[in-house]
Structure 1
Amino acid sequence: MVLRRRFRFNMHIWKSVSKSWYICQVWNFSIISVLALTISNILLTIRLLHKPDCPNVVDTKIAPVAITRFPAPLHPDIVISSSDCGGGGDDNTIDEFAELGNHSHRLVFDRLNLLRGRWDASRQYKYFDFAAVGNRYDDLTKKYKVCLATQSSLERLYSLVSVASHWTGPISLAVYVAGDDELYLLQLYLSYLQNCFASIRDAVTIHLAYPIKRAPKTVRKFLKSDYSNFVCDQPELTLKKLMKFRTTETIKWRLKNAYPQNHLRNLARKGCQNDYIFLTDIDIIPSINFTDNLDKFLRKSQCSSQSKCAYVVPTYEIDNRAKFPQTKADLLRLSKRGLARPFHHKVFIYNQYATNFSRWESNVGSPQDDTTISHNVTNFEFLYEPFYVSTDSVPPHDERFLGYGFTRNTQVYEMFVAGYQFHVLTPIFTCHWGLQNKKSRPAWRERQNNLNRKQFEVFKKEIYARYHRDPLQMLQPKKAPEIKPKVKP
């Protein structure tokens, strides 16, 4: 009986001790948990207090606007960045993206702030100068006396590959986008071009423009991207795939609103820092060794802002079945076979007629193929619009002319009235792919041309008032048709 009582007493004590130990363990764990949560809250509060303001940031939980179907067919691993600021330049994000290629580079527009920029004169368009700068743009600017200035919308940007492969100097490119979807697609495509082509990554500096009526609201930044379906030797096909993800609203808006060519030409031109500028359209491709040959010529040239001269580079259309001509002799052989002809020869012959291509073709040039002046333009006609090299002192392109028609030729006409002399260079040349014809022109181009023709009636009067010259007699009143009296039989 005594043993039984002792056993029960001992068990009671053991249970009391065990219960007390358990309570102590729970209490200690609770204290540790409270301390951990307190420290975590303090650290999070400090981080929030020091977090920078992030305008134009996309929430990481929100899918890309207007292209929610985009990741499935082309980029299954694209995600929106979880970095603090979508436009801020997170080094980790940049490094992860750079692993996609053999060369590291920043994301295109990774520091673009849409709350900044500058207006055009009419406050209809917003500009962002040097939105993305080529890795060697400054060095190339110092190396060469000439800069190539060009402009493009998103759908024609694939031509930049051919241009940058032939032009070895700095390139100032103005790009026009409308809406969040086009800006996002432009980011993707330019990042792809920079990843695949060293010439674009090094030489091309990009200036951005958009219409205020369809202004992008966000700058997106991806953390990862899968280029498995983006083949580097298919830039045109890649862009065509991307263009399918524009919204219907953007497509309709672009059809109704004219493309501001002259705004972009002025923007690209002012981005060049060199003594001379070669102003072109994005689909005009320089000949082989163009930049070095032109640079060598310009270093000996006497042309300056005071002497008022411009150097015309002949432009040819090339049949899509032909290979790009390596030399002037190759180009002339293509011309004899009907696979090349002067630019716009069938569509609008006055566009390049004053260049006098027959005289240029008969000039065989020097044995060393040094760039020289073939001849001067002596039969200047209105509507002449050559691609030329000159200083930035030439008159700007008038931004009243929107879309197509009277955009380039009005600027060249003002140069002529101001007293500029045009010299045609040889043996360098430029090419445009495809033999053009009038049937391929959409109807909206003629409508834009008619609107610009009305603008020209005011423009030519202003030119006369500015220079007090009318060498082409543009202001001469048209003679009324002579009415002969009827003779009675």
Structure 2
Amino acid sequence: MGRMSVESMIWSHYGKTVMILLVITVILQAYHMTKLMKLHERNKEETETGESLHKKHIREVNAGDRFTGQRMIKRVSLLEYVEQIEKAHLMDSSGTYMIIENVVTPVSDDSNETLSLCSQTTADHLHYLKDLTETWHGPVSVTVFTHGHETAFALYSIAYMHTCFEKVQTSVRFHVAYPISHPPINLKTVINMEMHCDNFESLINENNINYENEIAYPHNVLRNIAVSSASTPYILVIDIDMIPSQDLNETFSQFISRQSISEIKGDKNKVEQTVYVVPAFESQGDHKTFDKQSLLKQWDFQNVRPFYKNVCWKCQKVTDYDKWRGLPNLPFLDVGYILEWEDPWEPFYIARRKDLPPYDGRFKQYGFNRISQVCELHIAGYQFAVLNNAFLVHRGFKEPASFHAKKDAENSRNRELFRTFKENLKERYPKSTRQC
């Protein structure tokens, strides 16, 4: 009896242990099943939410609202840009720079357009394209200068502007140039950058000046790339922080259609060798876009003034701003008056792209880079016709103190180069009787 009692006690204790373990197992299985069911329900909800968001995104795309908020920049596109840079094989005529044309092209067809804006910049100033394309409703061709480690940020900036702003996507073609001596480094780091369209501030660096770099900024090389890659018969070369007058693309197209009648009547050479001057202004404050009447009003309020008024007035005064201001108020674009070129006038102008003398790529940094090409136009026989209602507005007043420290030294160096350039023009145009 004692032995049986002990065995019964043992088995009774063992049985209780087994029962407790069984109960714990059942409880754990029930808990696990509950978790699985909740996870399933959550996945189902996320799937439904994802499908709902996807459908919402499709609706937004159809509504033309796909360029705001959390829209992501496609990494596939970034990889394509990287591959284009890595496979670059086209050099400029001096063999100094590598050129990659049409890294990104506009999604709209610009083959029937008349006039393109052409510009150049570093990645730090690409954000100006946002305001520019809100006023300018035509093609834009812009060359981005970069080098070394900065190339990844340049590609990111291009991808951001193209993806996140509809008007940039539909109108701007981007090109890239870098010095062969400073090729891109660690390009694929661009894939790890923040890729949301709500990060516009990451593109803005107002303190960066193109000239303030150890590598000389080649304005004219970059301008030539933008001009040669433009898709239209006419081009207007501007600085990236300028904005043209409202409706210039449309009104110039109408104007040039009327001018074409002159070609038919026998004035073809005269029309082909005319550049159309677009007077330039500076604006302070938030004033970005104007028609001529609102520009004149802001001029009266001293919120607007002629370009380079306090920096190099002799470089712009030949435009004769007072005469332009007093032109009749016509409802269409036309030639206001014809001017003879005078040194050191460096106007902005619309020109036929075909047969236009290129910018001289030897001019880099500050000074004489634009006037060298204007000088050649004059020697080549071009006339300068000032348009009555067209103009450009530079954002901010230009002041002498705002320039970089090496400006005067660069200007002196380029002045010497300009003297050599003018001697070259005598050899290039031996029959010309004009001087500059």
Deviation at 1:173, TM superposition (A): 0.9
The residue type equivalent to 2:100 in the other structure is F
Structure 1 residues 371-382: aligned runs within 5 Å: 371-378=333-340, 380-382=341-343
Alpha-carbon distance in structure 2 between the residues aligned to 1:298 and 1:158 = 31
One of 318, 329, 336 as aligned partner of 2:283: 318
TM-score normalised by L of structure 2: 0.76
The residue type equivalent to 1:101 in the other structure is R
8 A contact 2:120–2:222 mirrored in 1: yes
One of 352, 360, 383 as aligned partner of 1:391: 352
Residues 261 and 175 (structure 1 numbering): CA distance in 2 closer, same or farther, change over 3 Å? Answer: same
8 A contact 1:258–1:448 mirrored in 2: no
Residues 276 and 340 (structure 1 numbering): CA distance in 2 closer, same or farther, change over 3 Å? Answer: same
Structure 1 residues 404-443: aligned runs within 5 Å: 404-443=366-405
Structure 1 residues 437-452: aligned runs within 5 Å: 437-452=399-414
One of 255, 259, 262 as aligned partner of 1:301: 259
One of 310, 313, 326 as aligned partner of 1:346: 310
Alpha-carbon distance in structure 2 between the residues aligned to 1:423 and 1:228 = 43
Q: What residue number does 1:264 align with?
A: 222
Matched, 1:274 2:232: yes
1:186-210 C-alpha deviation (Å, 9 max, x unpaired): 2222222223210111111111100
One of 311, 325, 333 as aligned partner of 2:297: 333
Residues 387 and 446 (structure 1 numbering): CA distance in 2 closer, same or farther, change over 3 Å? Answer: same
Deviation at 1:349, TM superposition (A): 0.8
One of 87, 95, 120 as aligned partner of 1:115: 87
Structure 1 residues 70-89: aligned runs within 5 Å: none
8 A contact 1:305–1:391 mirrored in 2: no
Alpha-carbon distance in structure 2 between the residues aligned to 1:184 and 1:200 = 20
One of 248, 266, 287 as aligned partner of 1:290: 248
Paired residue secondary structure (1:161): helix
Alpha-carbon distance in structure 1 between the residues aligned to 2:327 and 2:133 = 28
Alpha-carbon distance in structure 2 between the residues aligned to 1:253 and 1:292 = 34
The residue type equivalent to 2:146 in the other structure is V
CA RMSD of aligned residues (A): 2.9
Range 252-261 or range 380-389, more displaced: 252-261
The residue type equivalent to 2:280 in the other structure is T
1:431-489 C-alpha deviation (Å, 9 max, x unpaired): 00111111111221211111111111211111122223676655xxxxxxxxxxxxxxx
Paired residue secondary structure (1:331): helix
**Any stretches of 5+ residues in structure 1 without a counterpart?**
1-96, 245-250, 475-489
Structure 1 residues 89-168: aligned runs within 5 Å: 100-101=70-71, 107-108=77-78, 109=81, 111-136=83-108, 139-142=109-112, 144-168=113-137
Deviation at 1:242, TM superposition (A): 11
8 A contact 2:243–2:288 mirrored in 1: no
Residues 305 and 167 (structure 1 numbering): CA distance in 2 closer, same or farther, change over 3 Å? Answer: farther
Alpha-carbon distance in structure 2 between the residues aligned to 1:404 and 1:242 = 18
Paired residue secondary structure (2:110): helix
8 A contact 1:114–1:217 mirrored in 2: no
Paired residue secondary structure (1:173): strand
Paired residue secondary structure (1:127): strand
Identical positions, percent? 27
TM-score normalised by L of structure 1: 0.68
